[in-house]
Amino acid sequence: MSSSLAASVDGATTSSNPTQLGIVVTAVNSQGEIVISHSSGKTSLKPDAIPITVGSIYRLASATKIITSIAALRLVQSGKLSLDDASLIERHLPEMWSQEIFTSVPGQLPFTYKKRQNPITLRHLLSHTSGSGADILDPRLMAWRKERGEQCMTLTGAVVEGNSTPGLFEPGEGWSYGGGLNWTGLLIERVSGVRLGQFLRKEVFDVLGCDERIGFEGELEGKEKVMLVTKAKKGEALREVPPVPVRAELGGGALLSSTANFVKILQDIINPTSKLLETKWLDELFAPQLQSAPSLKALQGSVPMFSPLTGPLTSSVPLSAVNHGLGGLLITEDSSELGKTKGTLAWGGAFNCVWFANRQQGIAGYYASSIFPPGDPETSGFWAQFVREAWGKAGGGQ
């Protein structure tokens, strides 16, 4: 990492009034060589806190999704699931299948609904085109919860109670960031017959030689996690944010991991000889999934919301170059600033753990942080500079 970026990161984490707690940045190439690595800061605000390392355990939040997507494709690869089976969700997730679709517009009461016409497929779940929304993001779902006297439960409830909400559109005819990967995690459990955490350990983590510092909260009991922090206003001291209790092993956002383990997963999906997925299924993971105009319009209209997670990967390409793969946001054109970015998957989570991966250029990067909320401006600046530097290490850099 450049001395200027390292100095900026170190200054943010080690000053007398730090603006960041602990940051780890890592870039890896397709041969498994670490081309950028820097750790800075502490694991907590306590006086006796230990230094951050690549082994420190962070809460991944929505960076969990890429791992759940890979796990689902492992079941597709083995023939136990199908991406386009129109009866799959009806058979295994009847609670989701039975949900009707809103016909009332935001702000309209009483709510009105219609029966869903299109089938829901695994492909829809993985690409956020199933119609499933998030009650912490969508105004209609927030109002729907309120009318029922309920709190938002997407993040804290069990999968069924937290995600059994009316659909926002017919499957395949829109895009909404919602509960699709939570449902996918439950689908994996019901088809495999084991807890999601057990399946991930056997089918993903052990395959890559990950150690015990990756898993769900219950599996990491007793291990120190990096403290979640926030800053109320610019210039104010960091303060702790107690983690929200999560009742389920949510495939959409409940994993914790060290940087070393997460990077092993990213490196595998850019490796020509992946241990997890055959070439056919890697191609699917990185393929553009949104074809219909309503889906593309909805996704591309959301770019400003998630641009802090993607930085120059989206800001340096036209909106028409933004699509979605089966594992994250997908860039479909080269960048005027970065170079050959076509084929890049990227995403991140609420605590500003963000990642990208490009098979063609053989580069992947991960920025681990624990600051809330998502889109922290200082974090976004560090992430953007890291992406530029990592891309300079790739074959596609300008």
Per-residue three-class SS string for the chain = CCHHHHHHHHHHHHCCCCCCCEEEEEEEECCCCEEEEEEEEECCCCCCCCECCCCCEEECHHHHHHHHHHHHHHHHHCCCCCCCCCCHHHHHCHHHHCCCEECCCCCCCCCCEECCCCCCCHHHHHHCCCCCCCCCCCHHHHHHHHHCCCCCCCCCCCHHHHHCCCECCCCCCCCCCCCHHHHHHHHHHHHHCCCHHHHHHHHHHCCCCCCCCEECHHHHCCCCECCCEECCCCCCCCEECCCCCCCCCCCCCCCEEEHHHHHHHHHHHHCCCCCCCCHHHHHHHCCCCCCCHHHHHHHHHCHHHHHHHHCHHHHCCCHHHEEECCCCEEECCCECCCECCCCEEEEECCCCCEEEEECCCCEEEEEECCEECCCCHHHHHHHHHHHHHHHHCCCCEC
Domain of residue 257, CATH code: 3.40.710.10
Chosen domain end from 173, 192, 211: 192
Residue 1: predicted pLDDT: 80
What pLDDT is stored for residue 398 in this prediction? 45
Please report where in the chains the tokens 């997407």 appear, as a residue: 154
Does 96 fall in a domain?
Answer: yes
**Do 381 and 296 share a structural domain?**
yes
Q: Could you report the per-residue pLDDT of 258-313, keeping only the tens digit for each?
A: 999 999 999 999 999 999 999 999 999 999 999 889 999 999 999 998 998 899 99
Same domain? For 75 and 51 the reply is no
Does 302 reside within a domain?
yes
Q: What is the pLDDT along the chain (398 residues), one digit of tens a residue?
A: 888 899 999 999 998 889 999 999 999 999 999 999 999 999 999 999 999 999 999 999 999 999 999 999 999 999 999 999 999 999 999 999 999 999 988 888 899 999 999 999 999 999 999 999 999 999 999 999 999 999 888 888 799 999 999 999 999 999 999 999 999 999 999 999 999 999 999 999 999 999 999 999 999 999 999 999 998 677 788 999 999 888 799 999 999 999 999 999 999 999 999 999 999 999 999 999 998 899 999 999 999 989 988 999 999 999 999 999 999 999 999 999 999 999 999 999 999 999 999 999 999 999 999 999 998 999 999 999 999 999 888 754 44
26 and 156 in a single domain? The answer is no
Q: Is residue 295 part of a domain?
A: yes
Domain co-membership, 172 together with 229: no
Tokens of 200: 């991930």
Q: Which domain holds residue 86?
A: 71-192
Whether 113 and 56 have beta carbons less than 8 Å apart is answered as: no
Domain co-membership, 276 together with 321: yes
Q: Are 377 and 364 in contact (CB under 8 A)?
A: no
Q: Name the domain count of the chain.
A: 2
**pLDDT on residue 292:** 85
Q: Does the model's pTM come out above 0.85?
A: yes
